[in-house]
């Protein structure tokens, strides 16, 4: 797919990929592994594709250029979905210089156990590709790996952004901008949330260069032909993002905690019908989808009955995922039924506070199934939280 006279997309669409990062991230539509070929006075390949597509990738690449004419390879990030085909490609062009970050040299050595002809680059380093054009490298450490970097092509004003601004969508599907933004948001929430401060600082640094981005070419998904749209979204998402949403996440053993969840939800809705309320049984959703809902929320409530002096293992899995996300400026509280002891809510309070949430002074427990008094308390809790959100 031609992007302009000099730049061609030479990636792979993988519509069969249903899970990414092991089981961590469902990709129901699949994804694309984006690689780009620049044909100026020099010929440059930016990134490769996932290992299992190496033969197809090399065959397609050959149709665009004799492999021997590739002067340089740029590797922006060492993860296998971008470097898997590299070693097979190098069998054809063994000593081609590979421009990458210092940390990426370490990553490539770790993955492939081979000495490669790597040339380390730092932020601001330039690689001349013609009399008129340079590639300028920008390290993006921890966005999302220590080795990550981006590459700016002057003249054409294209930012090759690696995982930043990506979406897990094969790009042979018709473009739907809402879907593109939603997939970009899901990826941001699950991959970049812990590094939001780093992103903001990096973007401020890039702004000082006064580059006029013509388009952004990410590592996965569609190219952004209107870069301002995704740059504004990333600015919002990295700045303690929330929508007017409260999310209730719960699991239940005999339905009591579920009754509390539904009545808290009714309480919120009765107080303010403009608030989006999502009441989600944890076991009905993939953890990554729940993280995305939490990312969009001003407040969350987590419900679990007490079992074996603690909360349910299904809830523990979600709590474990939340801990690493470093959410900030969000409220939380907990609720749940119990029979004999009732530690779950107290433990959830500790975990949520430890994870960076502002814990409400109100939570809710119910000895046995909720009676009419507990149902009233659940509705009252919902109203209290809706009011608190409105005040903020
Ligand atoms: Fe698309 Fe971090 O790999």
Atom of ligand 1 nearest to the CA of 148: 2
Distance 79 CA to ligand 1 centre (A): 5
Q: Over the Cα atoms of the chain, what is R_g?
A: 24
Q: Measure the CA–CA gap between 6 and 134, rounded to whole angstroms.
A: 13
User: Looking at the whole model, is its pTM more than 0.75?
Assistant: yes
pLDDT (tens digit, 9 = 90+) per residue, 167-202?
999 999 888 999 999 999 999 999 999 999 999 999
Residue 53 confidence class, pLDDT cut points 50, 70, 90? very high
For 95-127, write each residue's pLDDT tens digit: 999 999 999 999 999 999 999 999 999 999 999
Q: How far apart are CA 106 and CA 104, in angstroms?
A: 5
State whether the beta carbon of 82 lies less than 6 angstroms from ligand 1: yes
**Predicted local distance difference test score (pLDDT) of residue 22:** 81
CA distances from 45 to 61, 98, 130 (A): 9, 9, 15
347 alpha carbon – ligand 1 mean position (Å): 35
Confidence of residue 58 (pLDDT cuts 50, 70, 90): very high
Nearest CA to ligand 1 atom 2: 79
* Strand arrangement of the beta sheet that strand 134-139 belongs to: 126-128, 134-139, 149-153, 158-162, 215-218
How remote is the CA of residue 367 from the centroid of ligand 1, in Å?
Answer: 47
Closest ligand 1 atom to Cα of 166: 1
163 C-alpha to center of ligand 1: Å?
5
Ligand 1 atom 1: the closest Cα is on which residue?
Answer: 163
- Residue 25 CA to ligand 1 center (angstroms) comes to 12
Cβ–Cβ under 8 Å, residues 32 and 11: yes
- Report d(CA 139, CA 164) in Å as an integer: 12
pLDDT of 210 strictly over 90: yes
């Amino acid at each position: 797919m031609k992007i302009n006279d000099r730049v061609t997309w030479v990636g792979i669409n993988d519509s069969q990929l249903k899970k990414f990062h092991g089981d961590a991230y469902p990709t129901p539509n699949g994804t694309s592994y984006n690689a780009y070929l620049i044909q100026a006075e020099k010929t440059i390949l930016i990134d490769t594709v996932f290992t299992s597509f190496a033969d197809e990738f090399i065959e397609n690449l050959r149709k665009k250029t004799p492999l021997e004419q590739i002067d340089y390879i740029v590797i922006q990030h060492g993860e296998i979905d971008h470097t898997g085909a590299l070693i097979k490609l190098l069998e054809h062009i063994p000593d081609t210089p590979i421009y990458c970050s210092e940390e990426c040299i370490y990553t490539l050595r770790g993955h492939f156990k081979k000495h490669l002809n790597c040339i380390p680059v730092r932020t601001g380093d330039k690689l001349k590709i013609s009399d008129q054009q340079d590639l300028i490298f920008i390290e993006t450490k921890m966005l999302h790996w220590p080795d990550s970097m981006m590459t700016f092509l002057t003249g054409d004003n294209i930012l090759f952004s690696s995982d930043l601004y990506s979406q897990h969508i094969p790009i042979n599907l018709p473009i739907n901008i809402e879907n593109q933004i939603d997939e970009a948001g899901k990826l941001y929430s699950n991959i970049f949330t812990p590094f939001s401060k780093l992103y903001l600082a990096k973007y401020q640094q890039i702004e000082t260069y006064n580059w006029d981005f013509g388009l952004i070419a990410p590592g996965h998904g569609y190219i952004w032909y209107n870069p301002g749209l995704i740059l504004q979204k990333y600015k919002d998402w990295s700045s303690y993002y929330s929508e007017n949403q409260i999310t209730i996440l719960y699991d239940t053993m005999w339905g009591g905690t579920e009754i509390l969840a539904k009545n808290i939800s009714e309480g919120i809705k009765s107080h303010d019908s403009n608030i989006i309320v999502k009441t989600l049984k944890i076991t009905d959703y993939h953890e990554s989808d729940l993280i995305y809902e939490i990312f969009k929320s001003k407040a969350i409530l987590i419900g679990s009955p007490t079992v074996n002096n603690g909360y349910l293992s299904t809830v523990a899995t979600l709590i474990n995922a939340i801990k690493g996300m470093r959410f900030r400026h969000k409220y939380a509280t907990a609720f749940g039924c119990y029979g004999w002891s009732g530690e779950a809510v107290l433990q959830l309070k500790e975990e949520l506070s430890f994870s960076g949430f502002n814990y409400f002074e109100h939570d809710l427990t119910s000895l046995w199934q909720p009676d009419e008094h507990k149902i009233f308390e659940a509705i009252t809790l919902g109203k209290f939280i809706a009011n608190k959100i409105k005040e903020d």
